[in-house]
Structure 1
């Protein structure tokens, strides 16, 4: 499967993980997620090495998960810790793959590649916005029947918003004055979108005087393999971004396999932060924009593409495509590096 494995991917939102095992597929790997009774988030291969029964149908007992078929118990590192049969001797090969995890900001991340590299690569940290503080947070997720790079293209090119989201996230005329800039530093790509002196966009209309124009910005940052942060906001014409209404979002893409993507999102706002009804409406509106507008288009594009290699199709490119094309090239380089490293280890 042609995917970058050495990276942190979202496994599950923290509030959905308990001592009840959860099945999850990531990058084609069937996994089981659970919490130990001490609260640790654990990610293991879901296949028992004895008769390949799904561990997620089993039971968590303390720090162990018990296979539902023959009762072998595996600890949080994947080793078989108890064999209820015969002399109770544990076969040396009785272990399942363990995936390193990090939990922060309400997200459980899993490292899908070489475990030796996980400790040296920090998991994304959104604490400034999603931790306890002045920002009000909502979140959601859904699945897309498309390769995750097709969703990545959508996110890094926000010039589609006036056409795909004219009544939810943008205004139809905002494309006329759109200013765009892209930059890259290392493997991080930024795409800056700025529309001066424009109408208030729909998601902010209830919180501003819509008879007065505003300056609008939407700046997005991508870190491989699938972590995007979007700052979107409005302010008085000529004002500072930080003085306006701001929404900071995380768009987190986890390939289920080569044709399906799990899309997790979080959105924090700096206005009316103590209003639960506003949070409820915002969650519904954002989820609706993604599932009823973005998702059908991404899936339709994927069906017509028929390949994850966009550039092999020789597409016509517009200025807004620059960030997405740059991200695709970075991912191709990372995949090539991983493949070369794997080949060297195989020879050795």
Structure 2
């Protein structure tokens, strides 16, 4: 296990290190380096001459300048402050000053990074535990023969687990997203209108909804061609914090695979204890060549996330402050099963990472969650 990124004697931050986190969309990393803070660590990403991606500690060890302000030179990155150059393995390979001597400690950490599903994935944990098969896979960002859509990003001033709560309980769409990605509560909320199913599949936590006899959401109205139907809303959380939503609208009573598809990715990456990155992508299966629909989709999603979700989540963070979620004794509803289970599972994974003898997520925990809601 690498050296712990917290000071000895202090309580470590509540992040899961042994996990893949999205650090950006592949298409956004071109010739210039980009910087990002993940798990309270500054990083820099850039491409080598062959196009391969490099991820290094993002701070020059000389005077602590952010390396994203520098320049890519061959396969190395040059600090924009005093010109020291660091290779793809993190070792200083050039000191332009004095005799040019390079101190033995002149190196920074290199992190494993993978391009998959149109995204950049960084591993900040134990290299011995690295498993690329745990990176969530989806095709709707890169496969433009089958899908049309867009990607985006926002930074939220709240703990990433509050965003997971938001995404695993999409009943809120009937209240704050009526004009964007939801419809009114009168059309969606109620025992005869909504079906809910919480279940797990290995590591994946599923929070599935079906809204029966529904009008199209403003997003579906752009291209679905239906005045009424069943809206299938299955959300899957891949721990630590990557979520996939395979939204579908079908004719009444038809199975999900018979509908018009609008899949989306919601890739969260903790920045600090109280801030996070939110990389999102959304695509559609119909009217693929219509750029106006794509632009309209992007604007509706931007409004939903930036103008509606983010202010509410940030206000929740403001109310909570530094207080623990469960110690505040939240009221638990039936549709909170997935979010509660996700929080407890993530807490167990973090404890197990720190103390490998600690128990991991167990079926018994799922049963306790179901019994308590």
TM-score by length of 2: 0.87
Instruction: Show the counterpart of 1:346.
Output: none
Cα distance in 2 for residues equivalent to 1:76 and 1:342:
35
Matches within 5 A, 1:83-98: 83-98=95-110
Of 235, 243, 251, 2:266 maps to 251
Helix, strand or coil: the match of 1:71? coil
Instruction: Show the counterpart of 1:175.
Output: 189
Cα distance in 1 for residues equivalent to 2:242 and 2:103:
40
When residues 241 and 145 of structure 1 are mapped into structure 2, their CA distance, relative to the original with a 3 A threshold, is same
Instruction: Show the counterpart of 1:59.
Output: 71
Name which of structure 1's ranges 197-206 and 271-280 shifts more when overlaid on structure 2.
Answer: 197-206
When residues 291 and 130 of structure 1 are mapped into structure 2, their CA distance, relative to the original with a 3 A threshold, is same
Cα distance in 2 for residues equivalent to 1:170 and 1:66:
47
Is the counterpart of residue 303 in structure 1 residue 315 in structure 2? no
Is the counterpart of residue 50 in structure 1 residue 62 in structure 2? yes
When residues 128 and 136 of structure 1 are mapped into structure 2, their CA distance, relative to the original with a 3 A threshold, is closer
Gaps of 5+ in 1: 344-348
Check whether the contact 1:187–1:330 (CA below 8 A) recurs between aligned residues. Answer: no
Is the counterpart of residue 337 in structure 1 residue 358 in structure 2? no
Instruction: Show the counterpart of 2:230.
Output: 215
Cα distance in 2 for residues equivalent to 1:130 and 1:71:
37
Instruction: Show the counterpart of 2:51.
Output: 39
Cα distance in 1 for residues equivalent to 2:145 and 2:17:
33
Shift of 1:130: 4.1
Check whether the contact 2:118–2:141 (CA below 8 A) recurs between aligned residues. Answer: no
Gaps of 5+ in 2: 1-12, 359-373
Name which of structure 1's ranges 28-37 and 197-206 shifts more when overlaid on structure 2.
Answer: 197-206
Check whether the contact 1:100–1:111 (CA below 8 A) recurs between aligned residues. Answer: yes
Instruction: Show the counterpart of 2:211.
Output: 195
Matches within 5 A, 1:259-270: 259-270=274-285
Cα distance in 1 for residues equivalent to 2:263 and 2:107:
41
Cα distance in 1 for residues equivalent to 2:341 and 2:257:
28
Q: Deviations over 1:253-297 (max 9, x none)?
A: 011111111111001110111111111110111111111111111
Check whether the contact 1:19–1:37 (CA below 8 A) recurs between aligned residues. Answer: no
When residues 129 and 83 of structure 1 are mapped into structure 2, their CA distance, relative to the original with a 3 A threshold, is closer
TM-score by length of 1: 0.92
Q: Deviations over 1:92-150 (max 9, x none)?
A: 21110111100122211111212232245542221266434311121111111100000
When residues 273 and 210 of structure 1 are mapped into structure 2, their CA distance, relative to the original with a 3 A threshold, is closer
Instruction: Show the counterpart of 1:152.
Output: 164
